[in-house]
Amino acid sequence: MFAFQDATLLRIFVGESDHYEGHPLYEAIVLKAREAHMAGATVLRGPMGFGKTSRLHTATILRLSDDLPVVIEIVDGQQEIDRFLPVLEPMIGSSGLVTVEKIQIMHRGDGSDQQ
């Protein structure tokens, strides 16, 4: 049996070449999320994308980009995400896009062992 739990998904869109304090931005964000004891974080590298400048970033052989799109997804409760946003804001500045979504996490079992 599956049990569902409400959660929040924080999604951060940045470029692979973005940096924070000498480290790749995506790495710095994941390490900060880990320090903050967030429930989980994943980095996804996109083969193609564009942002507010409409400049195309692609991994095709003819047009190999050194700034591919990167998405960091962090899942946790709403309160934990709200606490993390002030930490995140100075890290991304104007170089990224942040979205927040209400989600449901599916657990196997009756949910009585969750929390």
Looking at CATH, the fold of the domain delimited by 2-106 is given as Alpha-Beta Plaits (3.30.70)
Number of Cβ within 10 Å of residue 4's Cβ equals 12
C-alpha distances in angstroms, 54 versus 48, 49, 57, 103?
12, 9, 9, 29
Residue ranges per domain, the chain?
2-106
Over the stretch 21-53, which tens digit does the pLDDT of each residue have? Answer: 999 999 999 999 999 999 999 999 987 777 666
| Averaged confidence pLDDT in the chain | 86
pLDDT number for residue 9: 98
Predicted TM-score of the model (pTM)? 0.81
